[in-house]
Structure 1
Amino acid sequence: MKVNKRHSAALSVAALLLALPGCSSDDSGKKLDDWAKGVCDQAQTQVKKIDDANTSISKVNSSGSPQEVKSADSAAFQSISDAYKSLAQTFDSAGPAPNGKEGATFQQNAVSVFTTLSSQYAALKKQVDGLNTSDQSKFADGLKGVSTSLSQTTANGEKALTTLRQGDAGKALAKQPGCQRVSGSASPSASS
């Protein structure tokens, strides 16, 4: 059973950090750009983990055995949760963006957003792990519940990530290759 393609298995960090035309008009932008480069160089590994998890979910045969679907979704949600947790740690370690009070606020928001997303994907994993695979009908009903939870997580996450696309720090991150989505990569649909 596939979730509608408009629901990504995970929010892409690249979508978070980007698609903004980042342009800094002053020399103080250099420090901000250097900070953003450091963050995005580290974030790139986590973006790949999320993309890989999305790919693994999209390759699951929706008519496969319930155990196969459950195992694939569980592993993917765990990987996504771990990646978001690492992103929170990356922003925490990076310190405030070097643009005054706004930088500290941006850092706190980023840590909070990624910590929340990590928790939400851990909850999705727990929900998937609890599915009954011995009864096809119960399993299908359970998948509908996971799909609903995933849709809510996606909507809440997009709303939260929108706040990180704002301001000078968001624009600085948007310019960095490590925070940009690879052109042509598709958002997979979830098997849950």
Structure 2
Amino acid sequence: MNKKLVAALSGGAALILALSGCGDDDSKVDDYAKKVCDQVQPQLKKITEANESITSTAADGKPEDIKKADSAAFQQISGAYAAMSDAVEKAGVPPVGDGERIQKDAVKELDATATAYADLKTSVDKLDTKDQAAFAEGLKGIAGDLDKVNKVGDDAIRKLQSGEIGKAMAKQSGCQRPTTSPSPTATKG
């Protein structure tokens, strides 16, 4: 019942984690990227942990457990997006053409994403866990809303990772995708 929600959440988080690019950049752009990425890394970890929390309760969790895990995860993700917005704001204007607009748009969209996740938390908190059918239907609605929220966050990240800034961020360890252990698979032979 929670698989759609997990899939939608994972899709948005994947783009957040995909700050990527390649190439050589001047030191001002590299310094800017380092400033942002050093602040982003702990937030990416929080998003990953929140995804894991949702995933771990999705398969066989009781409605109360799913509601609690989703609510806490959405709160954590909302805070992470807000912190990323603050990091972009505090880093200042990127030293690239149209840097002021890039920064302003990214901050605005990251803030909107943080607010949208807070709204998703409120929606989850209102779900009735005593009625299985209503609970499942409510989760479906939240999964649909989550798809919309992810698009806004994705746009913000795409703007930040474009051009010289994206290339510089790709070189920073703080903006690289956290590694996760692959799931072991059992084979019978």
Q: What amino acid is the match of 1:3?
A: K
Which of the residues 106, 111, 136 maps onto 2:107? 111
For the residues of structure 1 that align with 2:89 and 2:154, how far apart are their CA atoms? 21
1:86 and 2:80 matched: no
Alignment of 1:68-83 (within 5 A): 68-83=65-80
The TM-score, its normalising length taken from structure 1, stands at 0.84
Q: Which residue of 1 aligns with 2:140?
A: 144
Identity %: 42
Q: Which residue of 1 aligns with 2:8?
A: 7
Which of the residues 133, 148, 167 maps onto 1:171? 167
For the residues of structure 1 that align with 2:128 and 2:121, how far apart are their CA atoms? 14
What whole-Å deviation, never above 9, does each CA across 1:132-166 have from its counterpart, x for those lacking one? 11111111111111111112222343244322221
- Which 4+ residue blocks in structure 1 deviate beyond 3 angstroms? 183-186
For the residues of structure 2 that align with 1:145 and 1:62, how far apart are their CA atoms? 18
Residue segments in structure 1 that go unaligned for 5+ positions in a row: 187-192
Q: Which residue of 2 aligns with 1:189?
A: none
Per-residue deviation at 1:51? 0.8
For the residues of structure 2 that align with 1:134 and 1:6, how far apart are their CA atoms? 25
Q: What amino acid is the match of 2:8?
A: H
Per-residue deviation at 1:184? 4.9
For the residues of structure 2 that align with 1:35 and 1:163, how far apart are their CA atoms? 15
1:44 and 2:44 matched: no
Per-residue deviation at 1:6? 4.5
Which stretch shifts more, 84-93 or 177-186?
Answer: 177-186
Which of the residues 13, 26, 30 maps onto 2:27? 30
Q: Which residue of 1 aligns with 2:185?
A: none
Which stretch shifts more, 37-46 or 160-169?
Answer: 160-169
Q: What amino acid is the match of 2:79?
A: D
Q: What amino acid is the match of 1:21?
A: C
Q: Which residue of 2 aligns with 1:21?
A: 22
CA RMSD of aligned residues (A): 1.9
Q: Is 1:62–1:69's contact at 8 Å kept on the other side of the alignment?
A: no
Give the 3 Å change call, closer, same or farther, for CA 92–155 of structure 1 in structure 2.
Answer: closer
More helix, by proportion: 2
Which stretch shifts more, 85-94 or 177-186?
Answer: 177-186
Which of the residues 94, 97, 101 maps onto 1:97? 94
The TM-score, its normalising length taken from structure 2, stands at 0.85
Q: What amino acid is the match of 2:13?
A: L
